[in-house]
Amino acid sequence: MKKTEKSKTLFAKCGNTCSSCPSFKANLKNAEDRSRCSAGWEKYLGIRLSAEKLRACDGCQYPAAEKPTRYLNCRTRKCAVFNGILTCAHCSVFPCEYLPVFESASREKTEARLGERMPDEDYLTFVEPYEWHKHLDTIRASLAPEEIKEMTRVSYVPKTTPFPVNLSEDSHFRDLHGLIAILGSEEDIPYARLDALKDNRDYALRLLWAFGLSGKLEGNNLVIEAGSYSAQKLYSGHSKVVNHYFKFLEGYGVHCEFVPLKEKGWLTPGGALRHKGWFVKMRFSPENGGKSTMHALRDYAAELSKQYGDKAYRHFSNADMNVLGKD
């Protein structure tokens, strides 16, 4: 990879070094650059992206209004833009738990995984640019107090439809309505947390919807097979990510877990869920009404599907239970 012209180092909001990244627009100029970047990312970072699919990235700091080429507009960048700061190091709450969701790279971890020492040039090209934690610490140490900006906090309260007055006050539909309405609600949070909550809520609602439509009651659990899970287009890219969503739901008294049909073969070598070989079970805590609320979930999903067809999920995500009060 050809090094960029002598210029000021360009850091991303999260601390990655855009100007040293092999996919930065100044560094990705020809087929040789593309081939080397693709091979290096796969070897040292585990990122499998063919040379043809690489993007000549404009970098994190490029204004969104000018429609830059980027791989993603991550929640870290959104939070920094919302707060009007150059990098996370310029924020009053640095370091916070909402720094990049990906682990900071390091030479030590990379060499330990490979079982060999990597050439210095490869380290500077494929690992050092992504040692964001180190970069942010260095930036923070260089800042004067007046350069650090107070973080603006926000709240997230999803808009939902009020519980119908004509339904019984002690109905388990009320328990279900309360669960759907409160999922993800939090106050006084960083903007980065807002994006994460929306993502968590979206998955949680779609999973509840899948169980409502296809779940079978077995003892104190609702159970759906792999095919029903996949049919709802729920995330299956990595089991660890799904377990993160399950942990989110557990905070609301909804307990989920994968049950493999055999010890091996239900996950790909990379940890993604295969299309078969497992099922998911769900149970509600007594505080949520337990088994009775799971019955309510199935009845509610069935009635919505009957009345609204393809538009049923929109009503479900809004906790709109007016359909249950119709004659």
| Statement to judge: residues 306 and 173 lie in one domain | yes
| Statement to judge: residues 259 and 129 lie in one domain | no
Q: How many domains does the chain have?
A: 2
pLDDT score at 7: 53
Q: pLDDT tens digits for 159-193?
A: 999 999 888 776 899 999 999 999 999 999 889 88
ω before 260 within 30° of 0 (cis)? no
Rounded Cα–Cα distance for residues 107 and 127 (Å) = 7
Sequence-distant (6+) residues with CB within 8 A of 267 are: 239, 273, 274
Is 3 inside any structural domain?
no
Largest CA distance in the chain: 74
Rounded Cα–Cα distance for residues 163 and 173 (Å) = 9
| Statement to judge: residues 142 and 278 lie in one domain | no
Half-sphere exposure of 231 (CA within 13 A, CB side): 11
Which pair of structure tokens corresponds to residue 55?
Answer: 């993007």
| Statement to judge: residues 177 and 321 lie in one domain | yes
DSSP 56: -
Domain boundary among 90, 121, 147: 147
Q: H/E element holding 95?
A: none
Domain boundary among 101, 123, 147: 147
Is 307 inside any structural domain?
yes
| Statement to judge: residues 181 and 248 lie in one domain | yes
Rounded Cα–Cα distance for residues 269 and 2 (Å) = 34
Residue 289: which of 168, 185, 184, 170 has the closest Cα?
170
CB 37 within 8 A of CB 51: yes
Rounded Cα–Cα distance for residues 147 and 203 (Å) = 38
Q: Which amino acid is at 170?
A: D
Going by pLDDT thresholds of 50, 70 and 90, the confidence category of residue 133 is: very high
Q: pLDDT tens digits for 258-274?
A: 999 988 889 888 788 88
Is 235 inside any structural domain?
yes
Please give the average per-residue pLDDT across 210-219, as a whole number.
94
Is 5 inside any structural domain?
no
| Statement to judge: residues 41 and 136 lie in one domain | yes
pLDDT score at 3: 42
| Statement to judge: residues 181 and 314 lie in one domain | yes
Is 25 inside any structural domain?
yes
- Residue 302 lies in domain: 154-325
Please give the average per-residue pLDDT across 239-243, as a whole number.
85
pLDDT score at 235: 84
Is 86 inside any structural domain?
yes
Residue 232: exposed, middle, or buried by beta-carbon count in 10 A (0-12, 13-18, 19+)? middle
Is 2 inside any structural domain?
no
Please give the average per-residue pLDDT across 298-317, as a whole number.
96
Q: Is the pLDDT of residue 57 over 70?
A: yes
| Statement to judge: residues 173 and 140 lie in one domain | no
| Statement to judge: residues 110 and 56 lie in one domain | yes
| Statement to judge: residues 140 and 199 lie in one domain | no
Going by pLDDT thresholds of 50, 70 and 90, the confidence category of residue 103 is: confident
Q: Is the pLDDT of residue 56 over 60?
A: yes
Rounded Cα–Cα distance for residues 118 and 115 (Å) = 9
| Statement to judge: residues 171 and 235 lie in one domain | yes
pLDDT score at 5: 41
Is 40 inside any structural domain?
yes
Rounded Cα–Cα distance for residues 57 and 22 (Å) = 9
| Statement to judge: residues 178 and 295 lie in one domain | yes
Q: Which amino acid is at 269?
A: P
Domain boundary among 147, 171, 196: 147
